[in-house]
Structure 1
């Protein structure tokens, strides 16, 4: 073992071996270890192993070995690292221990670690094997994946227990491990009401009572979410901090976001924390720092009326004006990575151009200080002030190929099926009473007579109760309904904008309204943005790796009073109460993708699809004009971007393997749903195969006390305010449904909703977070202003320049994958399946995902599926499952800069950002 992996090797001192006993040798690997301290004390760390099956006849308790200790030994090679937050050098250590056990000890099933040192360390893994037992082969290893922090016993008061990788149901737990398993579960459940310490390993629920800060003034007070009929909500992780002085129902805020309690094994790794911090810092510098040189406005390059308008605004805001002129005048499109300053000196595109920076303006510092933690702010200021700081950005996808495509009606509709929020649109049914009568009802009836399938994007009912409060805070918001009809692409035909005053406040717009129609679409996009951030892209769904820590950070500076969400989103301080209001409609069983599609009328059950089938689209809809509309630029030559040229309409669709989810899509060209259903079926098959290896029948599920208690706790405590829509996990089928839904939420759904944000939100007019003007009425001075100077009106309608730039920076960060990401279908390198059958089934799962990616690429080549490209020519790659051969992966291997945009990144296994 000496020299293996380039790690240090410590060995225990050996005493005289009793020949009547057997020897078990253990290989242990420690990371982030204060190795100087560990080496200094011979008895600093003690390890004891336990038998899996055999009990000591004299005590009736599990057979155990004597303690073995890490002793001084020869270090073959040192691999020293500096770890954030630790005052001593750290390194990776591999060491051997030898345990002397009685001949009837049997198979080792667990071990305990007692850390008597003053420092914590990270135990990665261990493996044990007999070296002199003729009944067990020398190469038979018993593996333990640990992946856990070991704190000093002076703090924890108990030893840490680790079980082998062999999996079993509770009722099949080996006799020797039953008591240890019970104690471990008791430790995790906690029970103390004291404030949680960094070394605690307890998972308890609490209300969302830590978003406000009433001790800092009444304006920072926020309602408690959860535990009431007015504000129902899922629970968060309990931290036990003391209450606020001015409101004992509110929990006090931590001194910094790094001090929020998260169980040690749920925390982001030091590497990932540094990576996220640096990504955020560099994004803020990239989009907020001032340029070292600023070209002046030129009368020769700008129309006279633009120069006059620009004089009314600051230099920063005037840059945005020209970009809106481009929108209305349809200036030439921005080519990939082209310097926009060649023709647009003052537009918002300058944020994406290569530039040298020289610090932050004082006004930007003042605003930024209020929005980010102090450690982020200080580093941003220092980084921006660095000499010869050169930065570059890739323009968001929505403007890369066609800078005005976002404003086209077809692209507006396409994003409801393949954009950042493709889970809200629904089909209009004949018996929808809310859509009967009135001007909107007349539009719907006329479209029905044309034998069109009709759809609605509804942001009305849930917003109406909040509009008066929201619009009292300096923003301008409507409740909206958007009607669309089917065709080669979804075509919006009417938009209803409502205010809460009376019936006269309801206005309906059509594409014939020209400028008002464009403004109405922007208001719809703003509504959809809020829904996406508060509901679709919910930080509160059940998650796994890193999610508890991500949610804790979100409560610290994203969801809190005065945090990023309240400052940038039009819903402001009512954002979380609005989220609570929508939670009343939430049901777990509707989070399954097939169920969600059925509820929204976007799919029909296969057994009754012919009865409910809507009229087919006329063949005349599918003409050569459709083909022409998706021609691509010659610049798109990347080998991994599918080409549209010379591919017949009917190419190979029937040859693709099918993944039957039991539903039929109403719109075949619905990229999120089509790709998602195949991934759903693959996940469901894998879950079913896995469960069948352990549960021989429904009785085994009912008798699994641990999973029954886990599910009961989720339903009755974690979601104590929502008693509808839960499966009773009393059979294998329902267990498979529940687990598949959880995995889908944390993998495919999150990938579809999260990683496209920079590509679409990166151009604020496409997905504005808030708006500052209503749509003017005919005959008013505001309408005259819109008619005479639309660019000025729209510029004043959008958020201020700082807010837009800040949002772009945030979207840049959360759209990136981190370097330690584990992807769907790809096993973690640290974990080893212990049975050949599990390995086989998991391998089959991975192969299915690779085939699904091939299917998606084939669909992306089909001319008739226009929603896969649209006017913006953004191929739908958000649900590419296989991340092993992407542009990003190859760039990383070749040491090239990674593309930060939205495409083909793979589906992460969990929500970890």
Structure 2
């Protein structure tokens, strides 16, 4: 038996991908027999350098092996830390090509992979492949453990979606490693933090005497003004950022005022259309509410080096859709149940501006911990760990989902060190406790919240006639439908009917692990994730949620942070003074209420770091890991890319008509996974 043109490619996106060790291969064939270990080596060549492609001939004498179905690699040599990242292998045997897309690390242990064609476990007939799949799952469950269960609120993991158990970043399994450019971006962000502090120390403002002094904090580091800087005080701009900014799912249609909201017709009547009342406009679907009164349940962080806590109002904001389609704030109540804390645009200008700043401050804090971290980062990691633990490399859902779940465990491990703890720098600059906010939100989470079609309907914001210019909804639905179409095509290609879904025991193990160990691990609440998946449609929905949350939704709430937060008064994530009463508003009161230079510098720097793309970013629709070898599926991927290109053109043409383009969901701005 001779296997010629055994072509192997070493990955070129990771600096550690190469190896100087001796690489050996064993080939198992359809007969169940295998070759001996064969060394892959070209004399006096560095065979496995980054990006290297090499051809080898493997000759076998002995029992017939048959056509190759499993490749097993191992490394021998002097290196203690043995690892090699191989992209793919193509084996030519009897003039036929056999593709093995791998994109995995060969580490201290052996690595076995099957042929590239995806296969459901119940359809596997080869005993060697059956055994290999079972062995791979068993290994992965030990290699990728869930974090330990805990009953103590002192433990970081308490009350959070479950995540990967790892002590420090260097221990993150290699399958989750960041690429060279992604790692460099993280390093640059740390350097930028130090540079910002240094620059602002020497050439930044020494004190804040007027609101424009906050602009000097980013001018010194080479940043331009946000595009809306001239309009940030306007009600129309305030409403635009609430409607379709980086926290676009934090409001609902208001059909009845909550009991703790004291806004009346007398407060807002002159801001409504002639002859209309607050009750009639609520009935007509023109009143919307952002209710943050639940923030009363969340601890406030302590101001660094001060014996007091940050202020964060438990505010309620009412918004009105005008005849011209503007989304305007008509009332902000800073203290629920206190009618004296209701402010409107008819109040003195400083009173009204400060009320809007307090509202935006609460919105910013909740955005960072709930809408950004919990609903994208944390959920994506739970999806990721369950997927890598339970689905073998040759499972079609592994191939479908892996590109969207490859980096999040790494970046989240960093967040659990640098962002979430009580004494973390970022947490100390934001008014609301990170863990307190996330725990409170996860307690009430349901998987339907991550289904944009259900979320829009449940919030009463799905009607474009009632709520125009809601670009997140319009673009998000388009992206969702494109993802769903792609997922539907792939899933239906492998699962011909509901019986195929029910019989897939690897899939059912994945669903059970995700529901019971990922979501219900502490309180028994699976949060809408089924423990068993019974239909093709249900599987399509869950996979669409996973991909959308890990790509489009993250883009919608993350990459606009710099332009939103860089001018601190526009949306400060913390405040110093307690909320004002009517008549107390003044420029001095506003300046005294806003965060100081040190806190503002931290907020500015983290917004900058979180908004950066890496130089090697892979965007939605691109093939990060070409794991599928089936021509039919490759065609589906091409169709998906074409659909996204059409949407990009549609959004581009729409944006040309807008004063401030909505670019957060442009397909070429949506990374394929969460890596920052």
TM-score by length of 2: 0.86
Inter-partner Cα distance in structure 2 for 1:504 and 1:426? 22
Contact 1:746 1:910 in 2 (8 A): yes
SS of equivalent to 1:149: strand
The Cα of 1:478 is off from its aligned counterpart by 1.5
Structure 1 partner of 2:492: 692
The counterpart of 1:396, out of the listed 211, 226, 240, is 226
Cα pair distance change 1:145/1:523, threshold 3 Å = same
State the Cα deviation string for residues 582-620 of structure 1 (Å, max 9, x = none). Answer: 21211002210010101111015xxxxxxxxxxxxxxxx
Inter-partner Cα distance in structure 2 for 1:151 and 1:777? 63
Cα pair distance change 1:124/1:71, threshold 3 Å = closer
Q: Within the alignment, does 1:30 sit opposite 2:10 as a pair?
A: yes
Contact 1:205 1:718 in 2 (8 A): no
The Cα of 1:556 is off from its aligned counterpart by 1.2
Q: Within the alignment, does 1:497 sit opposite 2:453 as a pair?
A: no
Q: Within the alignment, does 1:63 sit opposite 2:43 as a pair?
A: no
Cα pair distance change 1:794/1:443, threshold 3 Å = closer
Q: Within the alignment, does 1:713 sit opposite 2:539 as a pair?
A: no
Cα pair distance change 1:34/1:698, threshold 3 Å = closer
State the Cα deviation string for residues 43-90 of structure 1 (Å, max 9, x = none). Answer: x33210112x32xxxxxxx22111101346143x8997xxxxxxxxx8
The counterpart of 1:567, out of the listed 417, 428, 436, is 428
Contact 2:345 2:352 in 1 (8 A): yes
The counterpart of 1:702, out of the listed 499, 502, 509, is 502
Contact 1:48 1:65 in 2 (8 A): yes
The counterpart of 2:24, out of the listed 43, 46, 55, is 46
Structure 2 partner of 1:880: 666
Inter-partner Cα distance in structure 2 for 1:857 and 1:714? 38
Inter-partner Cα distance in structure 1 for 2:194 and 2:18? 37
- Unaligned stretches of 5+ in structure 2? 270-276, 382-404
Q: Within the alignment, does 1:426 sit opposite 2:255 as a pair?
A: no
Structure 2 partner of 1:224: 155
The counterpart of 2:453, out of the listed 585, 594, 598, is 594
Contact 1:756 1:878 in 2 (8 A): yes
State the Cα deviation string for residues 552-574 of structure 1 (Å, max 9, x = none). Answer: 00111111221033211101xx3
State the Cα deviation string for residues 409-435 of structure 1 (Å, max 9, x = none). Answer: 1111111222110111110124x5537
Cα pair distance change 1:444/1:233, threshold 3 Å = farther
The Cα of 1:25 is off from its aligned counterpart by 4.1
Inter-partner Cα distance in structure 1 for 2:628 and 2:363? 43
The Cα of 1:141 is off from its aligned counterpart by 2.4
Q: Within the alignment, does 1:179 sit opposite 2:131 as a pair?
A: yes
State the Cα deviation string for residues 349-391 of structure 1 (Å, max 9, x = none). Answer: 22333x6xxxxxxxxxxxxxxxxxxxxxxxxxxxxxxxxxxx6
Inter-partner Cα distance in structure 1 for 2:528 and 2:54? 49
Q: Could you say which structure has the greater relative contact order, defined with CA pairs below 8 angstroms and 6 or more residues apart?
A: 2
Inter-partner Cα distance in structure 1 for 2:74 and 2:246? 49
Q: Please show how residues 401-480 of structure 1 align to structure 2 within 5 Å.
A: 402=230, 405-430=231-256, 433-434=258-259, 438-440=262-264, 443=267, 446-449=277-280, 453-460=286-293, 462-466=294-298, 473-480=308-315
State the Cα deviation string for residues 478-506 of structure 1 (Å, max 9, x = none). Answer: 1010011101311111111117xxx5586
Structure 2 partner of 1:316: 205
Contact 2:4 2:92 in 1 (8 A): yes
Q: Within the alignment, does 1:509 sit opposite 2:343 as a pair?
A: yes
SS of equivalent to 1:49: strand
The Cα of 1:575 is off from its aligned counterpart by 2.6
TM-score by length of 1: 0.64
- Unaligned stretches of 5+ in structure 1? 1-20, 39-43, 55-61, 81-89, 153-157, 191-200, 210-220, 240-253, 295-314, 327-346, 356-390, 605-663, 863-867, 884-905
The Cα of 1:186 is off from its aligned counterpart by 0.3
Contact 2:161 2:518 in 1 (8 A): yes
Contact 2:495 2:536 in 1 (8 A): yes
SS of equivalent to 1:406: coil
Contact 1:547 1:911 in 2 (8 A): yes
Structure 2 partner of 1:576: 435
The Cα of 1:223 is off from its aligned counterpart by 2.4
The counterpart of 2:192, out of the listed 282, 297, 301, is 282
Q: Within the alignment, does 1:268 sit opposite 2:178 as a pair?
A: yes
Inter-partner Cα distance in structure 2 for 1:667 and 1:464? 29
Contact 1:287 1:351 in 2 (8 A): no
Structure 1 partner of 2:561: 757
Contact 1:69 1:97 in 2 (8 A): no
Structure 2 partner of 1:518: 353
SS of equivalent to 1:485: strand
The Cα of 1:467 is off from its aligned counterpart by 6.3
State the Cα deviation string for residues 707-761 of structure 1 (Å, max 9, x = none). Answer: 1110111111100133342345200000001011111101111111000000111
Structure 2 partner of 1:541: 379
The Cα of 1:831 is off from its aligned counterpart by 1.8
Please report the RMSD computed on the Cα atoms of aligned residues, expressed in angstroms: 2.9
Contact 1:701 1:729 in 2 (8 A): yes
State the Cα deviation string for residues 260-308 of structure 1 (Å, max 9, x = none). Answer: x31111121344212320243135414642576x5xxxxxxxxxxxxxx
The counterpart of 1:748, out of the listed 545, 549, 552, is 552
Contact 1:317 1:800 in 2 (8 A): no
